[in-house]
Amino acid sequence: MSIQDRYRLWTEDPYFDEETRQELREITDPQEIEDRFYTDLEFGTGGLRGIIGAGTNRMNKYVVRKVTQGLAECVCDHGQEGMRRGVVIAYDSRRYSPEFALEAALVLAKNGIKVYLFDALRPTPELSFTVRHLRALAGIVVTASHNPKIYNGYKVYWDDGGQVPPVKADQILARIEARESWLGIEPLSLEEAKRCGLLQIIGEEIDKPYLARVGKLALYPDLDKQKGKELSIVYTPLHGAGNILVRRALSELGFSSVNVVLEQEHPDPEFTTVPYPNPEIPATFELARKYGNAVKADLLLATDPDADRLGVALRTPQGDYIQLTGNQIGILLTYYILSQKKALGTLPDNATIIKTVASTDLADEVARYFNVQVENVLTGFKFIAEKEMEMEEGGWGTFEFGFEESYGYLAGDFVRDKDGIIASVILAEAALYYQQIEGRNFFAVLERIYQQFGYYLDDQESLALEGKLGKEEMALIMDSLRQEEIHELCGISIERFDDYELRIGKNFETGQTYPLKLPRSNVLRYSFEGGGFVMVRPSGTEPKIKFYFSVKADTLAGAEDFLRKVKEDVMQRINQIRAV
């Protein structure tokens, strides 16, 4: 079906509601029509994410219906038992999130599948927990995570509580693509779904056991109860789903001095106080800093709209606040968990941490110091969850902690995705422990780590390349880098080059190639001699190509100079490719 045929169908067929047809009829730009209909919104290993609007390449209820029908058919493949186990659905504070969640629930119910739908917005990690807790076959969370307000998305989870693995995602995609028609997918009525017992609303009965498991992750619960009030925290949910559970989790452990940023406390799909609801971005902490200055808070915490990511800013001795990078948070949590479990005698012999190839090599050095194994996986927390499950099933490792540089962290075995609630609790306890027991703050702890293992600094750059032309330009950049053998950057030798798309690596010192064991992915990684790397990959969730920089030096000044030079070198090369 041509672009014009698709456009005509969506503007004329009564299956599509009048609001949808009118929105499309008002478009006068041919390029806009092409962008909305030249393809279907891509269903990847994590699900969907796209701009809200009418069209096959947008997030709307008809796209949700079609994808959900594909998922429903895969659930039905598991027979009556799979249909009875059912699907859990959660959603965040974005535009149309409740509507899309209900639409998915009623399409599943139409297929005779049991659905557990949350009574209000909930964090993504709680959805992961609930799939495991209820022994459901699958889960859906309607969210676009930290993307701008014009986006929404649809993430699919399987029975282990992790994001749907590639094999299962391919099966769902095959069912979606096998259905050529957009017409005829009719959801069951809400009244009928409830009457038949196919739709069950859930809430507090899930919150309680989830929070109980979070609380058990505390290493020093008595310290938390006795001294938790001494740690002053400012928290912002950035208008999202973390507000209630983050505050309850901290309060139940004893952290009672928590001030919430009132202007950002309640759900707001417009995200009116932030240009971009992403805790990685310093601007998101602007209001939190004002609150922090007013109460002299030790920590500023921010979770993104679906509360799976955590951003942190620390109060300096001068009284201002410095934001930590995702890698710095990951290192602090890794060091705290491993060092304190070792001191308590609870660190098992087969202890393992899992991190992504985009995350700092400093974690590998810290882990080795504590005789802990490191598993490096592809970018995306689903790969951390898959490796954790592989360890459990194989009995060859005990998962202690997992993180990715993009502000995602996980401890415990009851959630299979990054968890901003868990991260908030462990980070608060770590800050309290160092404050009350060792008389130092996180800056001093980081400095001690750097002096022991070397100064690792990291940064990111990204290019926003939207639409069809953007995809083509990303492909050009990746192809050009893949064809050029880069042996040095800003005068520093590249020791190894790994191409995860071809699954081949090369050691430039020996000239030997070697196979890469990780799954195929469009990622290029350049490892420096002596430590650190540059990595390039198109984002799997945003119309961006990302550049990751991680450097190591003996001094902070040396690391800062190295980081500046390597960024300049790489981005100059990229600009030359784009100029061709």
SS (H, E, C) 268-337: CCCCCCCCCCCCCCHHHHHHHHHHHHHHCCCEEEEECCCCCEEEEEEECCCCCEEECCHHHHHHHHHHHH
| Close Cβ partners of 283 (under 8 Å, ≥ 6 residues apart) | 274, 275, 276
Q: CA distances (Å), 327 to each of 120, 268, 360, in order? A: 32, 29, 6
CA–CA distance, 525 with 516 (Å, rounded to integer): 12
CA–CA distance, 374 with 565 (Å, rounded to integer): 29
Active-site residue, from 145, 359, 521, 527: 145
- Cβ atoms < 10 Å from Cβ of 226: 13
Residue 453, H or E segment: helix 442-453
Closest alpha carbon to 437 in 449, 427, 429: 429
| Close Cβ partners of 207 (under 8 Å, ≥ 6 residues apart) | 126, 244, 245, 248
Strands 524-528 and 532-538: antiparallel
Contact call for residues 261 and 288 (beta carbons, < 8 A) = yes
CA–CA distance, 547 with 446 (Å, rounded to integer): 24
Q: Which residue has the tokens 């479990």?
A: 341
CA–CA distance, 537 with 540 (Å, rounded to integer): 9
Strands 488-489 and 455-464: unpaired
Residue 569, H or E segment: helix 556-579
Structure tokens at 443: 């800056």
CA–CA distance, 207 with 119 (Å, rounded to integer): 11
Contact call for residues 141 and 227 (beta carbons, < 8 A) = no
Closest alpha carbon to 351 in 402, 409, 398: 398
Closest alpha carbon to 297 in 276, 285, 310, 315: 315
At 142, which amino acid appears? V
User: Is 251 assigned a catalytic role?
Assistant: no
Q: Which residues are catalytic?
A: 145
